[in-house]
Amino acid sequence: MSSAIYSDDYRLSQRGRFLVKTNNNMKIIDKHPIAITVMSLGIILSVLFLAISFISQIGVLMAGAPSGLSATVATTSRPVVTTTAGTLFATSTMCAARIISTASSSVMLTFSDYAGQTPTGSFGHFQATSTNVVYDSGQYGCGLVKVWSFATQQVTVTETQ
């Protein structure tokens, strides 16, 4: 190791560290402890920020009307569903429940777009003819809902908050 200054007690290396000689033992003292402290603090704050961001999203993912309190209607529509799969609900950031009412035919539903899932006559969640089903977001989430019907019909869909 080359050094810039030689003396019996101190040497300054070219890497910005002091070598201090005490009782025939060499100790390395870093010249830049503030820079290391600032970088460490930055890393800790970044990890803390990411953790808080993740935790704050859990409430959105597991929403639902609190027990005993009512939810309000956010949207209601009457789309026509067919034997071709289509989107019934888009992803929502805040929903308490989704209500689907079928009329003259049964439907198949998927509750996420994970791995491109699309309902068919043999794949999906079955909902019988002439039924009203409440899909609580605590169990089914507020993600994309796709529908496939055994026959063309008009259904009623409601999203609550």
Can you say whether the dihedral through the CA atoms of 99, 102, 106, 107 is positive or negative? negative
Report the b/e string of 57-73 with b at 16+ CB within 10 A: eeeeeebbbeeeeebee
Summarised one tens digit per residue, pLDDT across range 40-61 is 889 999 999 988 877 766 555 4
Residue ranges in the chain modelled with pLDDT below 70: 1-33, 56-68
The per-residue pLDDT for 90 is 86
User: Which residue ranges make up each domain of the chain?
Assistant: 3-61, 73-160
pLDDT at 141: 84
Write down the pLDDT at residue 31.
Answer: 58
Question: pLDDT value at position 94?
Answer: 81
Residue 125: predicted pLDDT: 93
Residues 121, 124, 125, 127: is their CA dihedral positive or negative? negative
Percentage of residues of the chain with pLDDT beyond 90: 39
pLDDT for 146 equals 93
Q: What is the pLDDT of residue 32?
A: 63
- Contact in structure between 79 and 157 (CB atoms under 8 Å): yes
Give the predicted TM-score (pTM) of the model. 0.59
**What is the gyration radius of the CA atoms in the chain, in angstroms?**
31
Distances from the Cα of 121 to the Cαs of 143, 151, 156, 157, in angstroms?
21, 11, 20, 20
Q: At residue 17, what is the residue type?
A: R
CB 79 within 8 A of CB 155: yes
* Cα 147 to Cα 84: distance, rounded to the nearest angstrom: 8
Q: What pLDDT, on the 0 to 100 scale, is given for residue 96?
A: 86
In CATH terms, the fold of domain 73-160 is Jelly Rolls (2.60.120)
On the 0-12 / 13-18 / 19+ scale of CB atoms within 10 A, 150 is middle
